[in-house]
Each structure stands twice: as C-alpha cells, then as structure tokens.
Amino acid sequence: MTTTGSIVRIGLHRGLIELRHGLSLTFNYVFFPTLAVLVMYALRGFSLAGTDYSLGAYAIPGIIAMNVLFTGLMGIASALMVEREDGTLMRARATPHGTVGYFVGKIVSQAALTCVTFAVVLTVAIALFDDFTSDPIGGFVTLCWVLPLGIVAMLPIGVILGVVVRHPRQLSFVSLLLMGMTAVSGIFYPLALQAPYLQVTGQLFPLYWLGLGMRSAMLPAELAATEIGGSWRPVETAAVLGLWAAAATALALLALRRMSHRAAGSRPRAAGHGRAAR
Amino acid sequence: MKDGDAAPAVDVRGLCMRYGAQDVLNGVDLRVERGEILALLGPNGAGKTTTIEILEGFRRRTEGHVRVLGVDPETGGERWRARLGIVLQYWRDHRRWRVRELLDHIGRYYRAYGTPDRPRPYPADELLARVGLTGQASKVVGDLSGGQRRRLDVAIGLVGNPELLFLDEPTVGFDPEARHDFHQLVRDISAKNDTSIVLTTHDLAEAETLAHTIAILIDGRIAARGTPRELSARYSESVNVSYRRRGDDHRVAVPEYAAVDYVRRLLDGDPGISELEVRRSSFEEAYLSMVRSLGSARRVLDDAVRPR
C-alpha cells in the first residue's frame, strides 16, 4: 500500500521540478515588487509623519509582504485555474493518489518560489537603503517565523480561490479585491494614522499582520511607536496569522473535497484543445 | 491478492445517464474480455465519452450495473485506479516538463502497486523506446509535435503497466503515417502486455483495423456489436460487381441475395467478360447504411464524411 510518507515524497519531487520551472519565471514575479522598491527609493527624501524616518524605507517591509500575496496566493490561484483547464488536474485524477501529489507539489513549489522572490526583493532593498534595523540577527530570527506563517496563512486562500473561481477572466476581479485588501492593510502608510473604521477593517486581514511582522523584523525598534497600540504586537501577529492559517487550510481542504466529488467538473472543455487540429 | 482477476475487463448492463431531462445513455450493455480490444464507435454526441468517463470513474452514472476489472468505478479506490491506464482526449498539460522527467514522475505513483507478475511502473526508458520517443527524452513537452505528444500520452497511460487501457479518440488530428504507426503500437501493447483496450473513435477504418470487437453506440444505446466482418456482413445490403466487356468498364450494385445468380448469368451470357471483381460493400458503407436506417443519418453524415 502507498503510505502517506511516500505520497508526500512524490509530491516533494513534483514540487522541486515545478520550482525549477518556476525559477525561470522569477523575473515576472520580482519585476513589480522591485519596481515598487525603486519607487520607494525615489521617495526616500520624504519622511514619515511625526518622525524623521524615510517614508520610502518604511514601506519596504509591506512591499515584501505584498509579494507573498502576489507570488504565493495569486500564483497558486492562477496555476490551479490554468491547470484545471489544460488537463493537468485531470491527469492527476487519473493517477493513483495523483491529486494529493499534485497539491503537495503545488504548495511546495509555490512556497519555495515565494521565498526565492522574497530573498531577491529583500536583497535589492538592503542594497538601496541603509536605515533598517540595527539588530539584523534579531530581525532575521523574526523573519524566520513571520514569513513561513504568512505563507501558510496565504497559500490556502489561493487554493480556495483557484478552486472556486471558475474562469480565468474572473481572476482580474480577484486581483481587484486583493488590491483593496492591500489598500486597507497599512502597507504604504501607518494604519494607526488612518480612520478608525479602516483600522478595524485592516486588522481583519492577514496582510496587515504579515506587514506588521515584517516591519518588526526590518525597521528600527523606535518605529514601533507609529503602530496601533504603539507596539509591534508579536503575540497578536502570531495568533491572527495562525488563526488565518488554520481556517484557510480547513476551508481549502473542504473546497478540494467538494471539487473531487463534483464528478468530471474539472474535465477541460473541448474548444481550443487537440481537437482543433482537425 | 488479485482482486477480481477472473472478472471480465468491463461488464456493463443497463447503463443509463441522464442530465436533467436529457437521456445521454439509455440502457447500454457492454462486455470486454481480458486481452480484448473493443472499439466504441459512433457519431459525435452518441455518448461515447460519457460512457468511457463512467468506466474510468470520473462520472457518476444515473443507473445500471457497471464493473471495471471486477470493481464498481464509483467505489474503486486508488488500488483499482493503479490497474487502469487512461489516455484522455486532450493533451495540453505539463507543457514545461521534460518528456522523460514527466514519465518518470508519473511512474512513481505506481511503485507501491507492483506485483511479481505485473511489475510497476514500466521502466521509463523502455517505454520511451517503445513509443519511439527516445530521441525526444530530454525535450520539453510543449515543443513536441502533435503525433509525438499523443505518443507521450499513450506512454503515460502505460507507465503503470495497466490491465485495462482507455484510449479516448486517440488519433484525432493525425496524418496517415502517424495513424499507421499508432495502430501498430496499440496492437503491440495488446499482444505483449496482456492489456485489454477500450478505445473510442468515430473513424470507421480505425475501428475496423484495430478492434477485435466493435460496439456501435447510437443515441445512447449499443445499436450493434460484433467483429468487423460480422457487422459488415450483417448490415451490407448490396454487393458491388465490376467487370470489363469489350473495352468498357462496368460497375453494378446487386442486392446480396441475388449476387450469385447475377454473376452466373453474366458469365454464361458473354464469353468476353474480363477483370471480374465481386466485393461486398465496405464496412464504412455498412456503417452508414446502418446508421441511416437507425434514423440518425444527418448527424452521422456530418461526422463520417468529414475528410480524413
């Protein structure tokens, strides 16, 4: 019999191969965040209200957090949509334990790709700005739990979207929603300085907490004063991201189960496939 | 344990499939023995793909008895799935993978299901050699030609060393040479691997050359079933007689019951007859006449008269 361990191993094998394919697309993923970092570099002369800290440097951790949203969450959602249409998911269903292997592989490759693009954008940011934290080791330790937790909170949302959203065309609507989430998550400007209802809304979403965690890792300690409650709130960050991770994972598993029960619903349509060769 | 080894490859009785008010399958009976190649032939919309998807366990039937390798596809688990090979109608997946890489990866899922008399998976390099893709092993899947891509699909269908292989319209879009090579491959698989094969096609010639048995599916029912020769004999109504007389070619269609008499009188009446040929109408003619008589003529003509 196939053991869980051996399926996970096959999934890992799949993930590593897909990561290799994905790496050739790294440029696509890092292009916009790098552009954003450069824009912030141009804005370095402006300072954050009430401080003499560069507004540009302040936004960098948030931009890196956004990268998890767009590479990880959107990446997995669009991959699922494309691969449901092109028959990859059908192929997985035709293979014993293929669907499990497929999803393990997809999560592994997309998480790894998120880490790679994260490292690229971080390197560019560190090269351009010299006013990050004076405690890089402490910052690194913080990153080591914030980033994985953020990925685990975001990827299952991508899986849910990829299963629920039926047509690639609807993906642009999803992008719009994610932009809205970015707008209320205090990425570019402290949420503490915005309207109270925006503060409440922003704190409901994982992106705010991921951004906060990133800022706590990268920015000087005294900037904690600009945050809600005047603190980095690491315990709350871990709790909210953990809650999102658990809820999203449970929902994603539910969505996957429903998908596999919806008989042949994932069968690709005929138009535009090999039949067109007639 | 050899689950259901004595059972026929496919055993279907009274299979019905309804979508809303529409009956797609209306009491299909089908049986495929071990080692047999069955072609499910029929015009578009007859229910071929629906039938095969039910057999593959991808679609739930409305009613009827269905056993595939002795197991009900709706409850067949991963062990059952490991005994099947499936070649889908579509071929656009895994375009960034390399050929050998993909075959090796999919083979890994079958490792746990090997038995002494049926080792699994089938070694990737051997399989590539068999489908004639050794030279393309490190090519990217998306760069393969249509025929190469289809052969890779068959290799993927075979990598688990299946007891039963499903081929859903395998040669659509093939040129004649690729089609010929493909037929050779399918015969070879059937003969050497003790693999039963169910293929759907609307290509009459394909069904005739490949299959031991042809089942014709029309309007959700098996309208006829038999060897190509049996079907041809059963449904042809006429015999074509052609001959040469004093430099002129003649060709006459004669009702089957009158053919022997016709030829006897022809030869008795004129010693100058040469190049006599008496030929029962082809399977294609038989198929068309049958489908016409079953009242689906227009749809079938659209389909079968399409240039190949």
Q: Which of B84, B108, B149 sits opposite A10 (nearest CB)?
A: B108
* A86 part of contact set with chain B, CB < 8 Å: yes
Output A34 or B162, whichever has higher pLDDT: B162
* A1 part of contact set with chain B, CB < 8 Å: yes
> Which tokens hold the place of B31?
């049986």
Q: Which of B227, B149, B169, B162 is nearest to B51 (CA)?
A: B169
Task: Mention every residue, 6+ apart, whose C-beta is less than 8 A from residue A22.
Answer: A109, A110, A113
Give the whole-angstrom CA distance, residue A149 versus residue A111. Answer: 11
Pairwise CB contact (< 8 Å): A101 & B95 = no
- By the 8 A CB rule, do B165 and B196 touch? yes
Identify all chain B residues contacting A91, using CB atoms and an 8 Å cutoff.
88, 93-94, 106, 156
* B108 part of contact set with chain A, CB < 8 Å: yes
* A262 part of contact set with chain B, CB < 8 Å: no
Q: What is the pLDDT of residue B232?
A: 75
> Which tokens hold the place of B245?
């007389």
Q: Which of A6, A263, A268 sits opposite B59 (nearest CB)?
A: A263
Q: Is the pLDDT of residue A276 over 80?
A: no
Give the whole-angstrom CA distance, residue B120 versus residue B107. Answer: 8
Output A50 or A11, whichever has higher pLDDT: A11
Output A214 or A170, whichever has higher pLDDT: A214
Q: What is the pLDDT of residues A42-55, one digit of tens each?
A: 888 888 877 888 88
Residue B212 burial (CB count, 10 A): 16
Q: Is the pLDDT of residue B229 over 90?
A: no
Pairwise CB contact (< 8 Å): B96 & A21 = yes
**B209 burial type by CB count under 10 A (0-12 exposed, 13-18 middle, 19+ buried):** middle
Identify all chain B residues contacting A264, using CB atoms and an 8 Å cutoff.
53, 58-59
Pairwise CB contact (< 8 Å): B173 & A278 = yes
Over residues B87-108, mean pLDDT: 92
> Which tokens hold the place of B52?
């095969």
Find the radius of gyration of the CA atoms of chain B: 22
Q: Cα angle at A18 between A181 and A87, to 5 degrees?
A: 85
Over residues B276-302, mean pLDDT: 65
Identify all chain B residues contacting A83, using CB atoms and an 8 Å cutoff.
93
Give the whole-angstrom CA distance, residue A124 versus residue B199. Answer: 56
Q: Taking the model in full, what pTM does it have? A: 0.83
Q: Looking at chain B from residue 52 to 81, which residues have their Cβ under 8 Å from any Cβ of chain A?
A: 53, 56, 58-60, 78-79, 81
Question: How many beta-carbon pairs under 8 angstroms link A with B?
Answer: 101
User: HSE-up of A3 (CA within 13 Å, CB side)?
Assistant: 3
Give φ, ψ of B184 to 5 degrees.
-60, -45
Does the CA dihedral B257-B263-B264-B269 come out positive or negative? positive
Give the whole-angstrom CA distance, residue B55 versus residue B60. Answer: 9
Q: What is the value of ipTM here, to two decimals?
A: 0.84
H or E segment and range at residue B30? strand B22-32
Q: Is the pLDDT of residue A275 over 70?
A: no
Q: Looking at chain A from residue 175 to 234, which residues have their Cβ under 8 Å from any Cβ of chain B?
A: none
Output B166 or A134, whichever has higher pLDDT: B166
> Which tokens hold the place of A96?
């014993």
> Which tokens hold the place of A192?
């503490």
Does the CA dihedral A227-A228-A233-A237 come out positive or negative? negative
* Percent of chain A whose predicted confidence (pLDDT) is above 70: 92
Pairwise CB contact (< 8 Å): B78 & A2 = yes
Give the whole-angstrom CA distance, residue B73 versus residue B61. Answer: 10
Pairwise CB contact (< 8 Å): B91 & A273 = yes
Q: Which of B114, B164, B155 is nearest to B134 (CA)?
A: B155
Look up residue B248 and give its DSSP letter: E
Pairwise CB contact (< 8 Å): A263 & B60 = yes
* B262 part of contact set with chain A, CB < 8 Å: no
Q: What is the pLDDT of residue A261?
A: 65
